[in-house]
């Protein structure tokens, strides 16, 4: 007697392709240049969607991009790990000016931040002034003076982080550092966005490094903190 056998066929589908952060950043920039903001937000994280809905892109970013004129070329991107994201700076040349697009790409490939600013010459912000501004920004952060950070930031930073955002995200981090013991010697590096300042600091809970970017006008274009020791 023959029995009937039933076989279940299991089809294993390949995992979605993970785009390299540089490729993902380029894709995000092209969406913006094409005015395809819905696609950009569909591939963004929740904080990004909340900070800049479609209406903001249409009313603020759209006219700004249109004023650049025709795209001439892209230059090689530069990326930096700013845990947990990868921050990619993509320089672009337009008919009327050069622009640096800065895109934060999350580990899952979603867009976590998008900024654009005119390209500044490496020496536009003096080293001394940039270090002083960076130190001031860190002191504001440690004192919980988020309104001062917001007021001294670039327009792109303001769009990405309101005063309430600073309170919600930076507050717990600041509390977890413990008492400040001392600052170390600052290091500087000219970047496409202005002057990058690395300011080491020793706290009760460990050693950390603040990364502050100051643009050519002296505005704060980036502020991050990360541990420098295993602890």
> Looking at the domain that runs over 127-227, which CATH code has it been given?
3.10.450.590
The residues spanned by each domain of the chain are 21-118, 127-227
pLDDT at 13: 41
Cα Rg of the chain, angstroms: 21
Runs of H (alpha helix) within the chain: 21-33, 37-42, 46-51, 54-56, 62-66, 127-143, 146-151, 155-160, 163-177
Identical fold for domains 21-118 and 127-227, yes or no, is yes
Packing angle, helices 127-143 and 163-177, rounded to 10: 80
Could you tell me the CA-to-CA distances from 104 to 54, 58, 83, 183 in Å, in that order?
Answer: 18, 21, 10, 28
* Residue 190 near residue 180, CB atoms below 8 Å: no
The CATH architecture annotation of domain 21-118 reads: Roll (3.10)
Low-confidence residues of the chain, pLDDT below 70?
Answer: 1-19, 120-125, 192, 229-231
The per-residue pLDDT for range 108-126, each reduced to its tens digit, is: 999 999 998 877 554 544 7
pLDDT at 155: 86
- What distance in Å separates the CA atoms of residue 92 and residue 118, rounded to the nearest whole number? 10
- What distance in Å separates the CA atoms of residue 8 and residue 125, rounded to the nearest whole number? 66
Task: Check residue 105 and report its DSSP letter.
Answer: E
pLDDT at 2: 42
Output the pTM of the full model: 0.49
The per-residue pLDDT for range 85-99, each reduced to its tens digit, is: 999 999 999 988 889
* Residue 100 near residue 90, CB atoms below 8 Å: yes
């Amino acid at each position: 007697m023959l029995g009937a056998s039933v076989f279940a066929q299991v089809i294993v589908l390949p995992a979605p392709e993970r785009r390299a952060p540089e490729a993902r950043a380029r894709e995000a920039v092209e969406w913006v240049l094409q005015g395809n903001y819905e696609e950009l937000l569909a591939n963004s994280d929740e904080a990004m969607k909340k900070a800049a809905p479609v209406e903001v892109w249409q009313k603020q970013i759209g006219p700004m991009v249109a004023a650049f004129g025709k795209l001439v070329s892209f230059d090689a991107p530069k990326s930096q790990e700013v845990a947990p994201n990868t921050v990619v700076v993509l320089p672009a040349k337009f008919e009327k000016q050069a622009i640096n697009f800065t895109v934060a790409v999350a580990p899952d490939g979603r867009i976590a931040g998008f900024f654009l600013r005119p390209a500044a010459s490496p020496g536009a912000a003096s080293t001394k002034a940039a270090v002083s501004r960076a130190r001031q920004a860190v002191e504001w952060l440690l004192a919980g003076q988020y309104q001062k950070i917001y007021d001294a930031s670039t327009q792109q930073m303001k769009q990405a982080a309101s005063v309430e955002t600073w309170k919600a995200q930076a507050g717990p981090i600041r509390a977890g550092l413990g008492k400040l013991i001392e600052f170390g010697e600052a290091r500087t590096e000219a970047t496409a966005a202005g002057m990058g300042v690395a300011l080491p600091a020793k706290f009760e809970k460990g050693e950390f490094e603040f990364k502050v970017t100051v643009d050519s006008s002296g505005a704060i274009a980036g502020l991050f903190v990360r541990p420098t020791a295993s602890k």
